[in-house]
A and B are shown apart, each in its own frame.
Chain A
Amino acid sequence: MNGAVAPSIFESFNARNLDPEKVAETFVPSKQYEDLIKRRHTLIVGPRGSGKTTLLKMLQEPALEAWKHDGAEYYRSKIDFTGVFIPTDISWGEQLRLLGAESLDGSSRRLLSVATFTTHILRCLIRTIMRRRDSPGKKGMTPFRRILLSAEAEARLASQLCKLWHISDAVPSLLSLRQALSARFANLYSVASREVTLGEKGRQGRLADIEYLHLHFLRNAGLAVELLDDCLGEASGKWALMFDELELAPPWIQDELAQSLRSTDDRFLFKLALNPFTPNDSLLKQTQAAPASGHDFDQIALWYVKKKDALEFCRQLWFQMLDEKNIRRQEPEKVFGGSYFQTVPDDLKESGSRYGPHARITNRFRALAEKDTSFRSYLQQNDIRLDALDAMDDNKRAAKIRKIAPIVAIREFYRQPEVRDMEVGAQRSRKTAKLYSGSESLFSITEGNPRWFIAIVERLLERWDPDRSKKIDFSVQGEEILAASERFQAMLETIPIPEGTAPDDTLGVLSVVSRAANFFHDQLVKGPFKADAWETFEVDAKVPGEILAGLGRAANAGAIVLIPDGDRLILATERDLIGKRFRVSYLLAPIYGLALRLGKSVSLTAILSDKKRSSRLPPGDSQLKIPLK
């Protein structure tokens, strides 16, 4: 975009819209990155925003050269291939899918859209070669896998590639070659247009005569690398073809790629980024069938089941964001404060114990006991005396107190009109969001999803004056958390159900998630107190097929989080959902009033057959009216 203004929330949200150098500014290497840099074919599986694009972009040469992290040198020394980033997005996927729709026959459409994708891949490869050849543009860049390509050698390479790729009107330079490939994009559109106008008669022959329509991407990428090696007089090394958001490409392009995975061309690695669930199982079969020796795929899951796993990643990302803004590093607790669910250190100072008679947790238990007979019964049945919590055996306290503390917090919060430290008379939604303020809750809500984390924290940093060293007010945190939840909810509401399915509003992505979330909230807050509250669901065999499709879309969007069962394969088709266990995304917790923890599992059929639960949000302003039925 034009202009030198700071990136908008949308730009900073999505690594797709950022230059690799910009991605490198806040990149924090993770275990997944460590796995990705291996010289292996890899499937990177994760919902939207889980960092698939970021990881792939961080294998590109400009990102690696610009990266200033403490560990950058180590990773640069470990990565022994050149990453070719091949992006796709929803709108382009639609253009490929609709090219010639309702006008051209299926095989012509397939030919044209595969040719378009091939052109895209070859152009990405040329761009990558050009970057390796160019001198570093900025000071402070660390050269990575540079090549020395003389002007003569470049001219020879470009000429040979033009000949191979049936380009006749380019001068012999890589720049001209790249531009010619861009012109081919426009030309492909014209070819499709002309074919619609000319009609079916003679089409096969006409298309057969256009030679570039029949280039195979991998064979031609291989030839380009071979020619480059010849021009350099040495091997340019391995190349990783990195396909981002592959599920958005038309199925026939996925099929084409699936076939290519059988290639034994060992100059290429494949790094494929995908959603967890796919309706197309050909790619799945190819990647799981280990088609040739040494060609089996590693799978990397990009989500965190337990919040503690995400917290360390978020903490590192937080420091990286501070560094990037030249703000002195500060512990997140100092800036965001403690979470409502945490035991605060002040309790130790004030009462000498986290479980003293006036400690926060004791007060909260007492407050709930005063207004909840079922909780009083629970305390009695379990012989828990609130005036003697600090005298309890530590093991018993872990089993009886700490385990239920998050449930008590949620239950006590929603069962009373006011909460300590929060202004009287505030609207409920604002209070609800404040419930999830504080570093631990804030970080948990982002699910370790870099896009969500950056979106929320970026805005909070804009509203914080680090020189005054003051905490960011809970209400400010609450506002940004709620805005992020609302953006997420609006996106979930927008995901379409397939055309042709019954007009049943339970089939929408948010509808199923909403039912589950309302169910969990109700039994957390309204029903008799239960120490083992249901907070996850299992997809049982009775769940109808249409709902399964909705669940797959919900998982791909990140609205529900798969809890893996051992080492089973991560990537799956929708029918494999049966038997899988999920929790609702913590980013929806402020809207539905959920605890940020894993709980007991209930069957999805039990949730769906509970008629008391509405699948819909109440009409009106969801910012003002939290859907508490």
Chain B
Amino acid sequence: MRRFLMAVTIPLVRDLDTRALPDEYDLFIATVGYEDRATFISKNLSIRAAERIAVGFTEKHVFNYEANRDWYVREKYTVDEPGEADFGSLIRSKIQRLGFSSERLRLCVDISSMTRTRLAVLVDTFRQMSLPPIDAYFLYAVAAYSPAPKVTFVNRHVGPVLPSFAGWWIHPERPTVAVVGLGYEQNKALGAVEHIQVGEVLLFIPASSERQYSEALELANRTLLKEVRPSGRFYYVVDKPLDCFSDLELLVSSLLHDSNPILLPFGPKIFTLTSLLVAAVHPTAAVWRVSGAEEPTDRVAAGEVTGISACFDNPRRLEDSPDALAETALP
């Protein structure tokens, strides 16, 4: 499997009005997860697609997992439970097969219960598929508040989410800047920025109308929040992912002139997706993940669905990327 440094597509990211979604897709990718919300979009948005797949997992069959799988089977989805190493090839084979009969693919993805690594594999796969062009519609069911999972914090991985999201510093001696999407796991973001030994931290904070969530977030990140100047805090609204993408993209673009940015997306998955899309636009920026053994937490959909779309067209080599050229010209 070629995972790194292919001639990649720079996506064009657009707003997505979830009240006016396309009538039909070539492929709908859902997730068989243990969360209650894993079927929320499939149940409520009546998505029509030539092929509908629900991808499960080989482990953590807890909470609603069996019920969700049964539901997808009943609804005639193709249910598959690949190992983590096989997820990318499963998606690639589906796309390749559909690509034979279509000039342009329209894909819909429910990212609500997808793992961050799979999300990265997905974005990476889309940007590496040279033909046909892909219009990806990412949907996300906002979760109702539930207490933070117990993180046992024996981390297995602190590093790029995938090798292809490691970024590439033209000037390694420049300061590393962490752009952190805050989540509510106790001091997880703080530990990550300390571990990386960053020179500066900028925070993306989800603005939530759920008082409990805001309080939990603030409590879990109290020490980190104290260290970051107000000018280094950006607030985003979960149901306005394009605004979040625009702010993040602008920030990363500016940071690349004099520093080395690492995106650390904790918190809502929509921020992880946004980070991956920004890194797809700026391949020299990095996206990292910190994965510890977390106690599974059931999450219920709050009822609101949001989304963002990305068009993966016109493959370009990295040397054609404006970033690479601009950075190279810097003294």
Contacts and interface: CB of A to CB of B under 8 A. Distances in A.
A487 B228 CA distance: 13
Interface stretch (B14-22, B35-43, B258-266): B258-266
B154 A497 contact: yes
B199 interface: yes
A179 to B, nearest CB: 6
A193 B5 contact: yes
Given A102-B3, A190-B318, A1 B166 contact: no
B121 interface: no
B163 A491 contact: no
A196 interface: yes
A499 interface: yes
Contact of A16 (B199, B231, B330): B199
Interface stretch (B62-70, B167-175, B301-309): B167-175
Interface stretch (A91-99, A250-258, A368-376, A425-433): A91-99
Contacts of A124: 173
B175 A1 contact: yes
B286 interface: yes
Interface string B152-168: 11111111100100111
B160 A98 contact: yes
A623 B222 contact: yes
A308 interface: no
Give chain A's interface residue range (CB within 8 Å of chain B). Answer: 35 or more
B286 A11 contact: no
Contact of B199 (A17, A189, A197, A511): A17
Contacts of A347: none
Contacts of A13: 197
Contacts of A499: 156-157
Interface in A477-515: 483, 486-497, 499, 503-505, 507-508, 510-511
A505 B154 contact: yes
Interface stretch (A180-188, A400-408, A605-613): A180-188
Interface in A185-231: 185-187, 189-190, 192-194, 196-197
Interface string B213-249: 0000001001100111101100000000000000000
A99 B329 CA distance: 23
Given A2-B258, A8-B200, A98-B163, A182 B155 contact: no
Contacts of B173: 87, 124
B50 interface: no
Interface stretch (B24-32, B134-142, B188-196, B267-275): B188-196
Contacts of B256: none
A8 B3 contact: no
A486 B191 CA distance: 9
A196 B4 contact: yes
Given A95-B166, A494-B192, A616-B152, A88 B172 contact: yes
A621 interface: yes
Contacts of A496: 155-159
A183 B4 contact: no
Contacts of B318: 186, 189-190, 193
**Which of A98, A483, A510, A620 is packed against the most chain B CB atoms within 10 Å?**
A98
Nearest to B320: A190
Contacts of B2: 103, 196-197
Given A11-B175, A192-B5, A197-B7, A182 B199 contact: no
Given A190-B318, A494-B290, A508-B153, A90 B196 contact: yes
Contact of A490 (B7, B159, B223, B331): B223
B191 A491 contact: yes
Contacts of A92: 169, 172, 260
B9 interface: no
A1 B317 contact: no
B163 A91 contact: no
A1 B227 contact: no
B193 A10 contact: yes
B297 interface: no
B223 A483 contact: yes
A89 B231 CA distance: 26
Interface string B195-213: 1111111000000000000
A50 interface: no
Nearest to B195: A494
A619 interface: yes
A175 B331 contact: yes
Given A102-B1, A497-B156, A16 B197 contact: yes
A478 B315 CA distance: 56
A419 interface: no
Nearest to A244: B173
Contact of A89 (B172, B186, B201): B172
A-B pairs, 3 with minimum CB distance = A494-B191, A17-B199, A491-B194
Interface of A: 1-2, 5, 8-11, 13-14, 16-17, 48, 87-92, 94-95, 98-103, 120, 124, 175, 178-179, 182-183, 185-187, 189-190, 192-194, 196-197, 483, 486-497, 499, 503-505, 507-508, 510-511, 616, 619-623
12 contacts: A17-B199, A88-B172, A91-B176, A102-B1, A102-B4, A182-B327, A183-B328, A190-B317, A192-B4, A483-B226, A491-B195, A494-B195
